[in-house]
Structure 1
């Protein structure tokens, strides 16, 4: 029996803190209902309450993760089988991140997520899972020590970005690509301070990077610096080394920018004092 009362992963449906089974399982998700467009005006009465529910997800997420400390998110496919090379690679990545002083955050599900949580837990680190309400519920994997379940993708994504100092991305499908490009877009548009984004597995990711260079960059749809936001590696050791190296580099840039702003403020203050 798991801590959330499920006999085994995959039995039951999580809707925020509520566990549903049998006829109680809804036919649509909270995101579906939020984004559904209808001709009636019932949403006028339902949406204000939905806003309160969304607010509660942010409050619960912030409260649960605020004191976690330095952390890195590990993304990858939920379909990866235990014992596969990619599964073992994710386990190794997470263990090395813990040894480097990081907590490990995943989506809390099976596959690569389970592997990373396993690696973090086995290494004695903080193993975090941020689950999501989906039509086919997998349940939080058994290696998560701190888990938060979300109804809404956007609330969950905010937690990944707010509490991670880097992203390590292993082979995955649409969900993994969504998380990768969300991170890249936020960095490119300077909505967040830059953080390391490391792709693990040259054979898997090379085609995507070739397309970015040969199509998007060639057509002027992105810049050369945009492509350089990601680092491509093959091994767990390379991935963690790059997270540490890039993190130190970016913190140095941030500190230098802060010092420059402080000097500029002092010079402006001195100048205004002289004018008086």
Structure 2
């Protein structure tokens, strides 16, 4: 099946605020160059300038998001089909969060992220997308009304937590798991407080919860109380109620 968005992604590359297309596209990403240890020793001379670029990303992100109303970050797969129940749930969650008085923050991409942004926009709320430079970047979805593109994952992850009062996590892949466990770690270590985390989709998440209980906790790598760091539900209204009540709405 023809995929115009996929074709566009292959012809377009975003590097922070810069968009490159066709013959102007470059190999690799900024994160990759920063973390690559196999390159030349040029990094000795380049890293001070990278620090300035990293600083500028923090400044731009803080400046764009500092006046947000209370917000909830919603995570989920970029591969969630638009005609799926998961997508519909994402739209309902985005709408419900706005109706509860919150802005909605996502990664700004397609799938579940687009769904939450769509619900937020249709409800007349603030719909935030925090994009990231990737080898095949699809750009921000059309339902984002406040967007910021980042080069570095760690800067972007700071924004997700700093400007959100909680997380709703829809079924997703490695990126979703990364954000989930980052948040769980911050709550467990009390780096953040009053930060509810709601997993939406019992069937999807139950295997992970069973592994946490039956392996991680059973072997003493975590405590039974760590299972209280998050809630799991299949009900949209319950998810919204849990995340907004504990966030202090």
TM class, shorter-length: over 0.9
**Preserved contact between residue 71 and residue 103 of structure 1 (Cα < 8 Å):** yes
Separation of aligned partners in 2, 1:33 and 1:169: 30
Report SS of the residue matched to 2:97. Answer: helix
Aligned residue number for residue 62 of structure 2: 62
Aligned residue number for residue 226 of structure 1: 226
Aligned residue number for residue 244 of structure 1: 244
Q: Displacement of 1:83 after TM fit?
A: 1.9
Separation of aligned partners in 1, 2:137 and 2:203: 30
Structure 1: runs of 5+ lacking an equivalent? 1-5, 252-276
State yes or no: 1:124 paired with 2:114.
no
State yes or no: 1:192 paired with 2:189.
no
Within 5 A, what are the aligned runs for 1:61-210? 61-210=61-210
Q: Displacement of 1:17 after TM fit?
A: 0.5
Q: Displacement of 1:245 after TM fit?
A: 2.5
Q: State TM-score, norm by structure 1.
A: 0.85
Cα deviation digits, residues 29-82 of structure 1 (max 9, x gap): 111100011364211111111111100000000000000110000000000011
Report SS of the residue matched to 2:168. Answer: strand
**Preserved contact between residue 9 and residue 140 of structure 1 (Cα < 8 Å):** no
Structure with larger RCO (C-alpha < 8 A, sep 6+): 2
Q: Which moved more, 1:37-46 or 1:26-35?
A: 37-46
**Preserved contact between residue 74 and residue 167 of structure 2 (Cα < 8 Å):** yes
**Preserved contact between residue 91 and residue 117 of structure 1 (Cα < 8 Å):** yes
Report SS of the residue matched to 1:228. Answer: helix
Q: Which moved more, 1:150-159 or 1:214-223?
A: 214-223
Q: State TM-score, norm by structure 2.
A: 0.94
Cα deviation digits, residues 148-177 of structure 1 (max 9, x gap): 000000000000000000000000010100
Larger radius of gyration: 1
Separation of aligned partners in 1, 2:73 and 2:161: 9
Q: Displacement of 1:9 after TM fit?
A: 5.8
Assess, with a 3 A threshold, how the Cα gap between structure 1 residues 48 and 216 changes in structure 2: closer, same or farther: same
Within 5 A, what are the aligned runs for 1:48-59? 48-59=48-59
**TM-align CA RMSD:** 1.5
Aligned residue number for residue 22 of structure 2: 22
Separation of aligned partners in 1, 2:188 and 2:177: 16
Separation of aligned partners in 2, 1:138 and 1:226: 36
Q: Which moved more, 1:199-208 or 1:220-229?
A: 220-229
Assess, with a 3 A threshold, how the Cα gap between structure 1 residues 21 and 39 changes in structure 2: closer, same or farther: closer
**Preserved contact between residue 194 and residue 246 of structure 2 (Cα < 8 Å):** no
